[in-house]
Structure 1
Amino acid sequence: MAAFKDVTFYLLLFIGICTIGPLQFGFHLAELNAPQDVLMCRKKAITTRRRWHRLFPNRTDSDKPIVPEPGFLSLPSCIPMNDAAFAAISSVFTLGGLAGALYAGPFSSRKGRLLAMRATACFFILGSLVETVAGAVWVMGVGRFFTGIGAGAATVIVPLYISEISPKNKRGFFGFFTQISVNVGILGVQVLGYFLSHDQAWRWILGSGVIVGAAQFLGLSVVPESPAWMAAHGDPVESRRIFKRIRGKNATGLGEEVGRIGDESRTASEEEALLADAASSVGSPLTTVTSAQAHKNVLPHLGFMQVAKDPFYRPAIVAVVGIMFTQQFCGINSVIMYSVSLLTGLLPISSALLTILISVVNLFITIACAPLPDRLGRKTCLLISACGQGTSAFVLALSIVLGQKIISAFAVLFFVGFFAVGLGPVPFMLASELVGQEAVGATQSWCLAANYTATFIVAQFFPIINVALNEILGGAGWVYFLFTAFAAAGAIFIFVCVPETRGKKDADEVWGRVRRLD
């Protein structure tokens, strides 16, 4: 228990409230998976006919396409659309996510992490409400875009906030909480989808997002601003107060953990004087400093394009962008977003039940693997994950092509399980570990912009490519050979371009160099 002596109730409470944001990312990412055929007017229910009649004995022919009829508040029971339209409303969520990710980093750097998280809650509430009452494809698309903005912003800000309030030696462990909450959201909406994907009940799935968003907004009323952000914006006294509230009255190490803006032996007035003196010294010619010292000297927060143009930060941008493309191009969202429809008839059990089982496996493996980044290292976890996913994708493709349903079911579970080992949680940690405080907001935006761009490509084009390959080659499952190749390429990229950050005190030690201010 000594290892957790610096973990307080308030730290766990604040992390728990903040991770409601990533939870909603998972929720909205997978919310259309189970009710897809019902939403598109293809079926009355996704459950088998026997189970459907047992639950609703007055219903008949649940598997037949239906005609939308007025229901609650005169809203249609379904929205007629083809596969292309469904792919569009699925992928527009990622476009909103891209917009949210691009703006969230600079906004949180200027206005603070707390205000930015409250804004995400508002987008979740608004988007969920629009989705719930949608009666046309374009209205559903608008709602999905708004929830996407909230999701994109949340997945930028929350990992950053957690990294800034967590003890240095436990940032990897608490960094996993982001992915754990994403998986909780996915599991929750899959369970709702299994029981509510019939008639007009699918609207309750989407309406649940309003309740979760409201809970997030209310919870954030007790969450304080990041002490690192407060220190970086010239308020060391308030920074120290918040730091001790989060980490306990006897907590030490404020100077090291929030960017060396003074240490515990200095008085508040001395810290403020030091900050002013340091600010006036910025710009002296050819001063060599570390990133931590640069932060101490109050370097201005860098913008989205500034970090990409600066050769000092460019390797970190390449690393996080490449990892995020690897994460998505390994094919995880082909399962998260389309598994119920995609796997129908290909596996030995109901695809809806298998999807819930997949979500359970994903959640528990993520929890079980939470200590691994701090024990094995971030890079090692990423390599294990990419190689495992590539192997599982190959087995899945081969088993589907050969009609081996039992092997296919296990391959899907291993495919998702290996994702949880590294490619799921680790990329969200690295943006705050590869650069200093002055560039972390912009780097996090690059990280999530790449994530949502890659997710859009998969969401929009996976169904099209899957159908095309199946028609050309015959049968099904061929697309997973493509994911195998992407996983192999991703593993090579990680091995060559991604540095290890475990045990490194700051970005300068990670890269083995120092920042020169001209």
Structure 2
Amino acid sequence: MGDMASEETRPLLSTEVETELPAQRPSPLEIYLSKVQNQNLFLATFAAVLGPLSFGFVLGYSSPAIPSLKKVSNPELRLEDIQASWFGSVVTLGAAAGGILGGYVVDKFGRKLTLMLCAIPFVFGFTIIISAQNVWMLYVGRLLNGLASGVTSLVVPVYISEIAHSKVRGMLGSCVQLMVVTGILGAYIAGTGLDWCWLAVLCSIPPCFMLVLVAFMPETPRFLLSRNQRPEAIAALQFLRGPLVDHEWECREIEVNTEGQEELSLAEFKNPAIYKPFFIGIAMMFFQQVSGINAIMFYAETIFEEAKFKESGAASIIVGSIQVFFTAVAALIIDRKGRKVLLVVSGFIMAISAAIFAIYCKMALPVPINSSHANPPSSILSAAVVEEEHRLAWLAVLSLGLFVMGFALGWGPIPWLLMSEIFPLRARGVASGACVLTNWLMAFLITKEFHDLMVFLTPHGTFWLFCAMCFSNVLFTILFVPETRGKSLEEIEAYFQRSH
């Protein structure tokens, strides 16, 4: 007893207090997460992100397919310039419709079934393209691909956020954008050796695998509990977390937020817990598109050609590789550095690179552009750089690389991740659908109206506008976007409840 007393009364050194106290009082969540086994969670995530991979193949398909389709012998199938423009952009209209449809389906039929249903228009779309006899069949195929892409871009982030725990949710959520850019890069690379038809065959393979794998994965525990299917929710947690944890504890934590929740009504949008995350989600999708990413990507081929990268396919692969690498970097560090920090850094990098491109346009285009100039931006830029004898090509390439890097680090993956984190369970389908619709409509408008903007504001004025939008991104992030790193979905929902 004397020894025990002396041990109890002996004062601890300050260093011992600092190192021992945190270990003496682990939170229930820390105890729970220390016993989690992630193998099946990673498997379920892999099955789900085959959807974004398919989505990436759809986005990347048009770039190598259009030159091939312009050379086909069948005049009914051969694409002219205007038809090629619609072939590339009609996907965004289909995806906008997919956002509306997905918001309803994901809440009505569940996350898992919606994931499986996504595979059908992917495969049918590519099948119609493969068997196409005229241009209209190509349009229908692309429209179906877009529809599937819109639903996929909604349901996959929601599914992953609801099956993942807080320790890895950021990393796994970032894999959505990583797989999209991987699919784009895969289509670019495959397009260097395959014609449009065989490339479509290749692009139809990932959604087939997704359909099979997702069939063996569980529904999300949160959706099951919202439908009062507690035994099925426990079984899903047992699959996702392994046998060593207290599944009942996590189930009870989720139930606190799901019990008594009714279907979302319009009147509830007066509630700050609904309208605040809704405003943040919509605004982030808006800012993602008006930052100028589609404009920069539009210029990519011309920039590399004028920088003496004469192979446009190689230029696309370089851009795609930059996207994949830095999106992977973001996925690895997002749960350690946090969402806000990456968004701010990303916005600053994009703003600086847009400013560099504006300076490049001003120096390369000393004569202002007005409405009498009917040439497309790429022709104007090409002529200007020829006049400058390629002296400024390095500046254009630098700005392009910086912009793509910055976008991939933050404003590419994080808006989709936050969309899946900040909405209350009962509003997740509708609010996510509105975000997807906003994103794709803005993508369509920016893509189709870019040339008019270049004529109206001049090229350098347009990119100064994009620079201003990127700084607005940063300001918006600092003022309004909450940090969700390390928080459960229930804690995030409680934050918005308290914030009013």
Bin of the TM-score, shorter chain as denominator length: 0.7 to 0.9
Question: CA–CA distance in 2 between the matches of 1:119 and 1:222?
Answer: 14
* 1:499 lines up with 2:454 in the alignment: no
Is 1:389 the counterpart of 2:350 in the alignment?
yes
Question: Counterparts of 2:103 and 2:212 in 1: how far apart (Å)?
Answer: 23
Give 1:111's aligned residue.
109
2:291 is matched with 330
Is the alpha carbon distance of 1:195 and 1:230 closer, same or farther for their aligned partners in structure 2, counting shifts above 3 Å? same
Pick from 22, 25, 49: which aligns with 2:55?
Answer: 25
**Pairs aligned (count):** 439
| Alpha-carbon separation, structure 2, partners of 1:328 and 1:245 | 38
- Give the secondary-structure state (helix, strand or coil) at the position aligned to 1:495: helix
Asked whether the 8 Å contact 1:393–1:480 carries over to 2, the reply is yes
Q: 2:330 aligns with which of 360, 363, 369?
A: 369
- Unaligned 5+ runs, structure 2: 1-30, 365-384, 386-391
Distance across 1 between alignment mates of 2:109 and 2:336 = 35
Structure 2 distance, partners of 1:18, 1:319, is: 25
Residues 107-256 of structure 1 aligned to structure 2 (within 5 Å):
107-196=105-194, 201-252=195-246, 255-256=249-250
Q: Give how far 1:488 is off.
A: 2.2
Q: Counterpart of 1:320? A: 281
Q: Distance in 1 between matches of 2:105 and 2:495?
A: 27
2:496 is matched with 511
Separation in 2 of the partners of 1:461 and 1:160? 31
Return the letter of the residue paired with 1:22.
P
Residue 119 of structure 1 aligns with an amino acid whose one-letter code is: L
Alignment of 1:48-63 (within 5 A): none
Cα RMSD of the aligned pairs, angstroms, is 2.7
Q: CA deviation at 1:296?
A: 2.1
Q: Pick from 62, 69, 72: which aligns with 2:73?
A: 69
1:6–1:17 distance in 2 versus 1, CA, 3 Å:
same
User: Which amino acid is 1:411 matched to?
Assistant: S
Distance 2:133 2:158 in 1: 37
Paired residue type of 2:409: V
**Aligned: 1:455 with 2:417:** no
Shift of 1:4: 8.0
Question: Equivalences for 1:6-25 in 2 at 5 Å?
Answer: 6-25=36-55
- 1:418 corresponds to 2:416: no
Shift in CA distance, 360/390, structure 1 to aligned 2, threshold 3 Å: same
Aligned counterparts of 1:110 and 1:259: Cα–Cα separation in 2: 23
Cα gap change, 1:240 to 1:355, in 2 (>3 Å) = same
The alpha carbon displacement at 1:487 in A equals: 1.5
In the alignment, is the contact (CA less than 8 A) between 2:277 and 2:496 conserved in 1?
A: no
Is contact 1:180-1:363 (8 Å) kept?
Answer: yes
Going from structure 1 to structure 2, the CA distance change for 1:312 and 1:105 (only over 3 Å counts) comes to: same
AA of the residue aligned to 1:302: L
- Whether the aligned pair in 1 keeps the contact of 2:166 and 2:487 (CA below 8 Å) is no
CA drift of 1:147 comes to: 0.8
CA distance in 2, matches of 1:357, 1:210: 24
Q: Which has the larger radius of gyration?
A: 2
Question: Which of 100, 109, 116 pairs up with 1:102?
Answer: 100
TM-fit CA distance, 1:16 = 0.7
C-alpha contact 2:106 2:114 (8 A) present in aligned 1:
yes
Q: Alpha-carbon deviation of 1:35?
A: 3.6
User: Could you tell me how far apart the structure 2 residues matched to 1:212 and 1:145 are?
Assistant: 18
Amino acid at match of 2:181: N
| 2:91 paired residue among 69, 90, 93 | 93
Question: Counterpart in 2 of 1:296?
Answer: 259
Contact map agreement 1:30 1:336 (CA 8 A) in 2? no
Shift of residue 129 of structure 1? 1.5
- Please list the CA deviations of residues 98-149 of structure 1 after superposition, one character each: whole Å capped at 9, or x if unmatched: 1111221331222111110111000101111122333433322211111111
More displaced 10-residue stretch of structure 1: 378-387 or 182-191: 378-387
Shift of 1:418: 0.6
Moved more, 97-106 or 391-400: 391-400
Q: Deviations over 1:356-406 (max 9, x none)?
A: 011111111111221433222212211211221121122134335534112
Q: Which amino acid aligns with 1:484?
A: C
1:183 and 1:363 in contact (8 A); partners too: yes
Q: Secondary structure at the match of 1:34?
A: helix
Letter in 1 for 2:482: P
Letter matched to residue 296 of structure 1: E
Aligned-partner SS, 2:473: helix
* Segment of structure 1 superposing worse, 409-418 or 485-494: 485-494
Deviation at 1:479, TM superposition (A): 4.2
Q: Aligned partners of 1:488 and 1:30: how far apart in 2?
A: 29
Moved more, 5-14 or 234-243: 5-14
C-alpha distance in structure 1 between counterparts of 2:234 and 2:122, whole Å: 32
**Deviation by residue 1:430-466 (Cα, 9 ceiling, x = unmatched):** 1232232122222211221111111111232224544
Change (3 A) 1:32 1:339: farther
Cα 1:361/1:344, change in 2 over 3 Å? closer
Query: CA separation in 1, counterparts of 2:273 and 2:416?
Result: 21
Aligned to 2:321: 360
> 8 Å contact 1:32–1:337 — kept in the other structure?
no
Per the alignment, residue 488 of structure 1 pairs with: 471
Task: Give the deviation of 1:217 after TM superposition.
Answer: 1.4
Counterparts of 2:190 and 2:428, CA distance in 1: 37
Which residue of structure 2 lines up, in the alignment, with residue 408 of structure 1? 396
**In structure 2, distance between residues paired with 1:246 and 1:432:** 18
2:370 corresponding residue in structure 1: none
Rounded Cα–Cα distance in structure 2 between residues aligned with 1:362 and 1:11: 25
What secondary structure sits across from 2:273 in the alignment?
coil
Q: 1:344 to 1:406 in 2, by over 3 A?
A: closer
Alpha-carbon contact 2:304-2:315 (below 8 Å) kept: no
Distance 1:206 1:503, change over 3 A: same
What SS does the aligned partner of 1:169 have?
Answer: coil
Find out whether 1:442 has 2:436 as its counterpart.
no
- Render the CA deviation track for 1:491-518: whole Å, top value 9, x for unaligned: 2222223222224442344336179xxx
Q: Which has the higher helix share?
A: 2
Q: Which amino acid aligns with 2:155?
A: I
* Structure 1 residues 61-80: Cα deviation after superposition (integer angstroms, max 9, x where no partner): xxxxxxx414xxxx86x623
Cα 1:217–1:336 change in 2 (3 A) is farther
Mark the CA change 1:118 to 1:94 in structure 2 (over 3 Å): closer, same or farther.
Answer: same
What amino acid maps onto 2:259 in structure 1?
K
Mean alpha-carbon deviation: is it higher for 113-122 or for 346-355?
Answer: 346-355
* CA–CA distance in structure 2, aligned partners of residues 396 and 337 of structure 1: 13
Give yes or no for contact 2:166–2:486 (8 Å, CA) kept in 1.
Answer: no
Displacement of 1:20? 0.8
Identical pairs, percent: 27
Give the residue type in structure 1 aligned to 2:159: Y
